[in-house]
Amino acid sequence: MQTTVEKTTGTDDRPTTRKAGSSRKPSTKAARRAMRVAYRTRRAAAPLYATAAQAVAGTVLAVPVDGWKTALVATAAGAVTTVAWGRWDARLGKKRLRKRLPSRADFIATASAVTTGGGLVTAMAATGGLQAGHGPFPGLLVAWGLGHGIYWWRRGKKTAAPAPALSEQLLLWQDEVACTDGPLPRSELVDVNTTDYGWTAIIIVRKGNWRKALAAAADIAAALDLPEGMVQIEEAVGQSAKRARIAVFNCNPLQDGTDYPGPQILDTATGQAEVGIFYDGEPARYAFWKPSGPVHTVVYGATDGGKSRFLDMLLGTERHNGIVSWVCDPQGGQSLPRWREAVDWYEDTAQGGLAMLYEVRKIMYERSGRYSMMKFTDAKGRTLRGRDHFVVGDPDPLIVMTIDEAHRVLALPGAPALVLEIVLMARKCGIKLRLVFQGPKANMYGSGPESTDIREQLQSGNTIMFRTASALTDSIGLPGWEVNPSRLPMYWPDKTSTAGLGYIKGPDNRQAQFRAHFDRDPAHWATTATTPTLEASAAACTGKAYSQRLERLAARLRGETPVLPDDAFTDTTAPAQRTPNSDPIAQAAAAIELEAPAGSDDRVYAFLLDCARPVGRNTIAQETRLTVSAVKNALSRLKKTGRAVDVDRGIWAHPDHADALTDTDLTQAA
DSSP letter for each residue of 210-225 = HHHHHHTHHHHHHHTT
Pick the residue with more confidence: 352 or 251?
Answer: 352
Contacts 24+ apart (CB under 8 A), 358-361: 358/418, 358/543, 358/545, 358/568, 358/569, 358/570, 358/571, 359/542, 359/543, 359/545, 359/546, 360/326, 360/399, 360/401, 360/422, 360/426, 360/431, 361/418, 361/421, 361/422, 361/571, 361/573
CB atoms within 10 A of CB 431: 27
242 with 205: CB under 8 angstroms?
yes
Question: From the CA atom positions of the chain, what is the Rg in Å?
Answer: 41
Is it true that the peptide bond before 395 is cis, omega within 30 degrees of 0? Answer: yes
Reference 483, options 513, 518, 446, 460; nearest CA is 513
595-623 pLDDT, tens digit per residue, is 445 477 888 888 888 888 888 888 888 88
Res 147 pLDDT > 90: no
In this prediction, residues 437-459 reach a mean pLDDT of 86
CA distance linking residue 329 with residue 458, whole number of Å: 19
> Which DSSP state fits 552?
H
Are 284 and 506 in contact, with CB atoms under 8 Å apart?
A: yes
Q: Is the pLDDT of residue 463 over 90?
A: yes
**Burial class of residue 619 (count of CB atoms within 10 Å of its CB; 0-12, 13-18, 19+):** middle
pLDDT tens digits for 32-72?
Answer: 777 877 777 777 888 888 888 888 888 888 888 888 888 88
pLDDT band for 628, please (50, 70, 90 cuts): confident
Strand partners, 377: 383
pLDDT of residue 262: 95
* Predicted confidence (pLDDT) at residue 581 exceeds the cutoff of 60: no
Query: 407 pLDDT exceeds 50?
Result: yes
| Nearest in space to 285 (alpha carbons), one of 268, 269, 273 | 273
- Which of 78 and 9 is assigned the larger pLDDT? 78
- Report the chain's mean pLDDT, rounded to a whole number: 83
What number is the average pLDDT over the span 384-389? 87
Q: Cα torsion for 179, 182, 187, 192, to the nearest 10°?
A: -90
Angle between helices 46-61 and 67-87 (to 10 degrees): 150
Asked if residue 96 has pLDDT above 80, the reply is no
- Residue 137 has phi, psi (to 5 degrees) of -65, -40
CA pair distance 265, 275, nearest whole angstrom: 7
Q: Which residue has the higher pLDDT, 567 or 243?
A: 243
Q: CA angle at residue 93 from 88 to 99, to 5 degrees?
A: 45
Confidence band, pLDDT 50/70/90 cuts, at residue 99:
low
Interatomic CA distance for residues 608 and 621, integer angstroms: 12
pLDDT-derived band at 2, boundaries 50, 70, 90: very low
Residue 256: count of CB within 10 angstroms of its CB: 10
Of all helices (H) and strands (E), which one includes residue 289?
A: strand 289-290
Strands 501-505 and 514-516: antiparallel
Residue 402: pLDDT over 90:
yes
Give residue 379's pLDDT: 81
Q: What is the pLDDT of residues 235-265, one digit of tens each?
A: 888 899 999 999 988 888 898 889 999 999 9
Which domains, ranges and CATH numbers included, belong to the chain? 38-88+101-157 (no CATH), 167-249 (no CATH), 294-566 (3.40.50.300), 595-669 (1.10.10.10)
Residue 165: what pLDDT? 47
Residue pair 440/476 in contact by the 8 Å Cβ criterion? yes
pLDDT at 584 over 50: no
Please tell me the predicted confidence (pLDDT) of residue 39. 77
Least confident of 201-210, 534-543, 570-579: 570-579
Q: Is the pLDDT of residue 504 over 50?
A: yes
Under a CB-based contact definition with an 8 Å cutoff, are residues 432 and 296 in contact? yes
Helix (H, G, I), strand (E, B) or coil at 195: strand
pLDDT digits (tens, 9 = 90+) for 180-235: 888 999 898 888 888 888 888 899 998 889 989 988 998 999 988 888 888 889 98
Confidence of residue 91 (pLDDT cuts 50, 70, 90): low
Minimal CA–CA distance to 361: which of 204, 538, 506? 538
Residue 620 burial (C-beta neighbours within 10 Å; 0-12, 13-18, 19+): buried
Would you place residue 474 in the very low, low, confident or very high pLDDT band (cuts 50, 70, 90)?
A: confident
Confidence of residue 4 (pLDDT cuts 50, 70, 90): very low
Share of the chain above pLDDT 90, in %: 34
Q: State residue 37's pLDDT score.
A: 75
Query: What does the DSSP assignment read for 334-379?
Result: -SSGGGTTTSSEEE-SHHHHHHHHHHHHHHHHHHHHHHTT-EEE-T
pLDDT of residue 307: 93
Greatest mean pLDDT range, 132-136, 409-413, 601-605: 409-413
Q: Residue type for 629, please?
A: S
Q: How many CA atoms lie within 13 A of 365 on its CB side?
A: 24
Question: Highest-confidence range of 247-261, 400-414, 572-586, 632-646, by mean pLDDT?
Answer: 400-414
Query: What is the predicted pLDDT for the residue at 574?
Result: 46
Q: Residue 114: which residues within 8 A CB-CB, separation 6 or more? A: 75, 78, 79, 81, 82
What is the SS3 assignment for 644?
A: coil
Q: What is the pLDDT of residue 659?
A: 79
What is the band of 20 on the pLDDT scale with cuts at 50, 70, 90? very low
Segment (H or E) for 645: strand 645-648
Q: What is the pTM of this model?
A: 0.62
**Contact between residue 555 and residue 578 where contact means Cβ atoms under 8 Å apart:** no
User: What local confidence, expressed as pLDDT, does residue 592 receive?
Assistant: 47
For 232-244, b where at least 16 C-beta lie within 10 A, e where not — what string?
bbbbbeeeeebbb
